[in-house]
A and B are shown apart, each in its own frame.
Chain A
């Protein structure tokens, strides 16, 4: 089996699994309890928090709130900025058309509550232009929220420049860094980030754990009311085993980041070169400002779900932005946002690899995708019309 869907989730690292099970067996106390095993759990929790502080270049352990994952962190960051913005009479938020649904759907709700939302164009290459952020900022803007790297097409945004603009204009800046943390260098200070969301299972940690970074001095509200955990900002007994494993996985990812990124990027580039040989195909998203493990293509004349099922038969696990894989009628909002028309957006394939993939596996993927695309085209009425000249090729 070749697992090429690391943007969906990753396999937990052995060290993270070990840390997690050890914690469950031995450090099962409640961090809020004052006796020995409770305080041991508290120590483990704070140790993990220190790892997060180090990993993202935060200043203080009080800037980290552990959450159930990236979605919760996104919700809390945006809800907080909106609530305090509203109190100050600022009800305008800037974001982009290709954010994760955790962001887009939260913004949709805020619109119903009277907020105005500007979604910036992501252009054909899937990159936000900082000058367009600048010109979108208004006196009543309370938040700019732009993802660090896109989850489908892997494009890495000019976060540092955008952050600098927000600082200069005195507007809060949040970034959903779920796909970036542990894969590329992220430093909240250097990148001028006020709030940042991350999810552990994207960097070989466990599912159900993530964190929100909130720069000192920025006010935050609760999504979950209750006890005083996480300095009163996130109630509920902490998921200590998950958090401990998050700390271990993150440290591992950061320690090996440069090395792994270099290896992964080479394999990615070979995959891209190989898949480009398929006629009437196109890569989605900028080729240079791109996550080391992301490959995303559209193939004209075929549909993504059948492509995925046949690749699965060949032992390759991947993903697609086709409508049929999402359970809705529309294909991926990300592909539509970069200007792909429905017809070709349905025929997309995302491979998200890591450093463990071998050269042989890369070649096998290329060969397999070529075969499957050719096979599906052989009985596609669209392909027949395109080849016969009855329709014009889009790609």
Chain B
């Protein structure tokens, strides 16, 4: 019996899409250091499609795994789909999270939403 599913451990040990996108056009950061979790999402959006995504996370194993899984779930996807991503879908894709770690998947959803908002804001400023 271990704390996390194998999927969580896989994404924690080998996180996908780690890092920074220098020319990202949507950046979102959620959480705070006081609570022990911060997630930062970098999106590169072209023609309403997420062509690239990267993340940086300060947090526990499930926070890192949730960020990693969420990036995989939105990479290459149209914005209409990305907007629909829920924390539940992220947690399910990870074969579940312990109850008290569900907030990590919420942070992943919020980080993406925040990055999308930033993208919309930049777009409206340009227009």
Contact = CB atoms under 8 A, between A and B. Distances in A.
Nearest to A301: B58
B63 to A, nearest CB: 8
Given A309-B12, A313-B13, A327-B100, A383 B35 contact: no
Contacts of B76: none
Given A322-B36, A327-B100, A329-B35, A381 B60 contact: no
B107 interface: no
In this complex, the interface size class of chain A, counting residues with CB under 8 Å from chain B, is 20 to 34
A138 interface: no
Given A322-B60, A383-B58, A303 B40 contact: no
A306 B36 contact: no
Is chain B's interface secondary structure helix, strand, loop, or mixed overall?
mixed
A212 to B, nearest CB: 33
A371 to B, nearest CB: 14
Contacts of B20: 384
A276 B34 CA distance: 24
B60 A306 contact: yes
B52 interface: no
Interface residues of B, number: 28
Interface string A100-122: 00000000000000000000000
Contacts of A379: 15, 18-19, 55-57
Nearest to B37: A303
B57 to A, nearest CB: 7
Contacts of A140: none
Contacts of B62: 324
B12 A306 contact: yes
A170 interface: no
B74 interface: no
B64 interface: yes
Nearest to A344: B33
Interface of A: 301-306, 309-310, 313, 322-325, 327, 329, 331, 342-343, 346, 379-384
Interface of B: 9, 12-13, 15, 18-20, 29, 33-40, 55-64, 100-101
Given A324-B101, A381-B56, 16 more contacts: A306-B12, A322-B60, A323-B36, A324-B36, A327-B100, A329-B36, A342-B36, A343-B34, A379-B15, A379-B19, A379-B57, A380-B56, A381-B38, A382-B38, A383-B58, A384-B20
